[in-house]
């Protein structure tokens, strides 16, 4: 539920005043500098934004105070209330939920002696809940300031807290990877153009990237015409890997001929879809590949400027991307007149503020512009009217990262991988009740069963698969007898699943379907931006109704109403967030009728609903 919190007053030291003024003056010169400035000011003030700091930002950046408040209150990473030295953000999204996040919350509350939103008496820890942190392979997980702690157990939590209390907070820039190296997972049998460098090179070294053919794709593209580059990408069959699967080359072909300048490339690195961890592996392990893909895209459509919009929790990704941008500028792979070609391309890194809907391309554009992250009404689409109202290509990290090899090796090389319906390779993720949650890059068409059994190590011993939610939180549930479906767009659609971002949430027979649907609906009502009524109210009503189902007080008429309401949201909501609940409500009601019927009769077959109701009551 939205709470309107009045910012708290706290005097600023003279150092803080000087620091804030310096940050504001610097970011006032940068288009879209408001959010990055707020992140830095929050750091200077000790993890929160006192009223005095906001007033100073408002004056120095010439931003009206109500506008400033309106923007910052949209983003969960900003706080106008005092917080501790360390912010503990425990993930409550489905992949963590099915692996016991609620038990970890109860333990954290006991251990710290605080409730969610409170700070310990010594001022050390503030406890918060958060949507997916993008580290689902180590679920259940929490992030303390910049550092992720996964595979949580009570013993692990106790040890981590003891380390922080003893002043032993890890330095996030010194870890090799936020979670696991790729070697923690079984190797792919296929060629892996996207992940080929991850863990094989030093991601902080441009020389390492160059020694493995880095920037050869850009060099080749610069010898071709812009139209030729677009055509190669078109012919390759590459489809957007951010979720919707729109053909990448086709998207570029709409923007290339436009005579409206400047044009922009945006790399969507928001990665907020629960279960999705793939873009982080590329950005942390091979950041130059992302930059190279963006520069080629810029050349192809006539854009000279690019933004990377990276989710605020991905500190290591941002650290390595910024280093890569600086190195590429120094070596002439970015900047003015790249390699003497006459083509110029600059990249700016932008930080998100903890909002799932900002992954939606037009919400993301508004966020870059320093506004609340409301999705725009479409059309017009960003390809014609995007950031700063100019033609803008928005592509996912994985889509852009596929481009350098496609240009180097040709459309046919890429097309020869995968299937007739779905070309190329894709990074898949398997999370939830498997023995080895993780990621792998494979040719499209990999049978889902192989992803679960071979790469994921199968479901936990003594259990069987009950359901899989393929594609992400917005997608339908499939049954065990549908897991032989190949991971390609048409086949997955046929079973009312989706390739989506390539993540597969596996649930075994200990799972209560109603409980997971409740967790999903909680996520959607929390992340609804409130811009349009059908979703603002609809997601809330759906959540209230699933709570009734879970506590055994709903009727069949309530289920019918939920389906009707979610269906009408697909017809009336402004963006795909509001369209999402229908697919998992429809498929779970059709495919798990006995489970819903048991709840209507007041009985949760696994006991999960009673357990969670008791936990919430305490």
Chain positions contacting ligand FMN, by CB under 6 A:
240-244, 246, 268, 270-273, 356-357, 359-361, 394-396, 399, 575-577
Residues 427-466 that bind ligand FES (CB under 6 A): none
Find the shortest distance in angstroms from Cβ 141 to ligand FMN: 18
| Interaction pattern, residues 81-110, with ligand FES; x per rule: CB under 6 A | ----------x-x-xx--------------
Contact residue for ligand SF4 among 104, 135, 529, 562 (CB under 6 A): 529
CA atoms within 13 A on the CB side of 252: 33
Q: Which residue, 150 or 242, is less far from ligand FMN as judged by CB?
A: 242
Quick check: 76 binds ligand FES (CB under 6 A)?
no
| Interaction pattern, residues 499-528, with ligand SF4; x per rule: CB under 6 A | -----------------------------x
Find the shortest distance in angstroms from Cβ 290 to ligand FMN: 12
Structure tokens at 398: 């994985």
Backbone φ, ψ for residue 432 (5° rounding) = 95, -140
Contact residue for ligand SF4 among 530, 561, 600, 605 (CB under 6 A): 530
Q: Which residue, 126 or 539, is less far from ligand SF4 as judged by CB?
A: 539
Degrees, nearest 5: CA angle 591-597-603 = 125
Binding partner of residue 93 among ligand FMN, ligand FES, ligand SF4, none, CB cut-off 5 to 8 Å per kind: ligand FES
Q: How far apart are CA 327 and CA 329, in angstroms?
A: 5
**Burial level of 232, CB count in 10 A (0-12/13-18/19+)?**
buried
Q: How far apart are CA 194 and CA 282, in angstroms?
A: 7
Binding partner of residue 96 among ligand FES, ligand FMN, ligand SF4, none, CB cut-off 5 to 8 Å per kind: ligand FES
Residues 115-144 that bind ligand FES (CB under 6 A): 132-133, 135-136, 139, 141
Using an 8 Å Cβ cutoff, are 267 and 397 in contact?
yes
211-231 b/e (C-beta count within 10 Å ≥ 16 → b): eeebbebbbbbbebebeebbb
Structure tokens at 280: 């982080």
Number of residues this chain uses to bind ligand FES (CB under 6 A): 11
Helix (H) or strand (E) holding 465: strand 465-470
Q: Which residue, 130 or 485, is less far from ligand FES as judged by CB?
A: 130
Contact residue for ligand SF4 among 232, 577, 604, 609 (CB under 6 A): 577
The distance between the two most distant Cα atoms of the chain, rounded to a whole number of Å, is 73
Q: How far apart are CA 524 and CA 208, in angstroms?
A: 42
Residues 222-281 that bind ligand FES (CB under 6 A): 274
Helix (H) or strand (E) holding 412: helix 411-415
Location of structure tokens 């609809």? 538
Quick check: 324 binds ligand FES (CB under 6 A)?
no
Binding partner of residue 242 among ligand SF4, ligand FES, ligand FMN, none, CB cut-off 5 to 8 Å per kind: ligand FMN
Quick check: 354 binds ligand SF4 (CB under 6 A)?
no
**Burial level of 191, CB count in 10 A (0-12/13-18/19+)?**
middle
Find the shortest distance in angstroms from Cβ 182 to ligand FES: 18
Residues in touch with ligand FES (CB under 6 A): 91, 93, 95-96, 132-133, 135-136, 139, 141, 274
């Amino acid at each position: 539920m939205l709470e309107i919190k009045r910012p708290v007053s706290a005097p600023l030291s003279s150092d803080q005043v000087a620091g804030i003024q310096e940050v504001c003056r610097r970011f006032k010169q940068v288009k879209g500098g408001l959010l990055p400035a707020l992140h830095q000011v929050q750091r200077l003030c000790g993890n929160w934004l006192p009223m005095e700091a906001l007033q100073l930002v408002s004056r120095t950046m010439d931003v009206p105070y109500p506008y400033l408040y309106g923007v910052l209150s949209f983003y969960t990473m900003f706080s106008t209330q005092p917080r501790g030295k360390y912010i503990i953000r425990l993930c409550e999204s489905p992949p963590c939920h099915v692996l016991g996040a609620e038990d970890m919350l109860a333990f954290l509350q006991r251990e710290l002696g605080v409730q969610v939103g409170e700070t310990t008496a010594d001022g050390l820890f503030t406890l918060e809940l958060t949507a997916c942190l993008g580290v689902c392979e180590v679920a259940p997980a929490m992030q303390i300031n910049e550092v992720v702690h996964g595979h949580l157990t009570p013993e692990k939590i106790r040890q981590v807290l003891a380390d922080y209390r003893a002043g032993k907070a890890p330095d996030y820039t010194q870890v090799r990877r936020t979670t696991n190296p790729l070697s923690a997972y079984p190797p792919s049998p296929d060629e892996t153009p996207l992940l080929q460098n991850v863990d094989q090179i030093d991601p902080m070294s441009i020389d390492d990237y160059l020694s493995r053919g880095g920037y050869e794709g850009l060099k080749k593209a610069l010898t071709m015409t812009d139209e030729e580059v677009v055509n190669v990408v078109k012919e390759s069959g590459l489809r957007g890997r951010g979720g919707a699967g729109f053909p990448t080359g086709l998207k570029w072909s709409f923007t290339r001929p436009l005579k409206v300048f400047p044009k922009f490339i945006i790399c969507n690195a928001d990665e907020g879809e629960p279960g999705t961890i793939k873009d982080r592996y590329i950005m942390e392990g091979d950041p130059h590949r992302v930059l190279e893909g963006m520069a080629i895209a810029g050349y192809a459509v006539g854009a000279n400027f690019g933004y990377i919009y990276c989710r605020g929790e991905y500190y290591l990704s941002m650290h390595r991307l910024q280093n890569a941008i600086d190195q590429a500028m120094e070596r002439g792979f970015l900047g003015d007149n790249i390699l003497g070609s006459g083509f110029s391309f600059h990249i700016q890194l932008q930080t998100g503020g903890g909002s799932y809907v900002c992954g939606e391309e037009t919400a993301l554009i508004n966020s870059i512009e320093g506004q609340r992250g409301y999705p725009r009404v479409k059309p017009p689409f960003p390809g014609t009217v995007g950031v700063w109202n100019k033609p803008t290509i928005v592509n996912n990290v994985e889509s852009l990262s596929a481009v350098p090899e496609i240009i180097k090796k040709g459309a046919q090389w890429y097309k020869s991988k995968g299937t007739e319906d779905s070309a190329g390779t894709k990074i898949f993720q398997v999370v939830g009740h498997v023995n080895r949650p993780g990621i792998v890059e494979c040719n499209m068409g990999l049978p889902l069963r192989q992803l679960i059994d071979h790469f994921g190590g199968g479901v936990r011993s003594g259990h069987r698969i009950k359901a899989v939610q393929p594609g992400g939180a917005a997608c339908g549930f499939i049954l065990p007898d549908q897991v032989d479906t190949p991971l390609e767009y048409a086949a997955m659609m046929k079973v009312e699943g989706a390739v989506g971002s390539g993540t597969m949430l596996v649930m075994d027979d200990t799972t209560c379907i109603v409980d997971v649907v409740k967790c999903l609906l909680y996520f959607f009502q929390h992340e609804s931006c409130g811009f349009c009524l059908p979703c603002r109210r609809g997601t809330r009503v759906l959540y209230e109704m699933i709570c009734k189902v879970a506590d055994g007080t709903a009727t069949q008429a309530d289920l019918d109403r939920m389906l009707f309401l979610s269906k009408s949201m697909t017809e009336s909501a402004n963006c795909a967030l509001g369209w999402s609940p229908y697919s998992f409500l429809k498929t779970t009601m059709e495919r798990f009728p006995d489970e819903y019927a048991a709840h209507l009769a007041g009985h949760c077959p696994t006991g999960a609903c009673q357990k969670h109701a008791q936990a919430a009551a305490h």
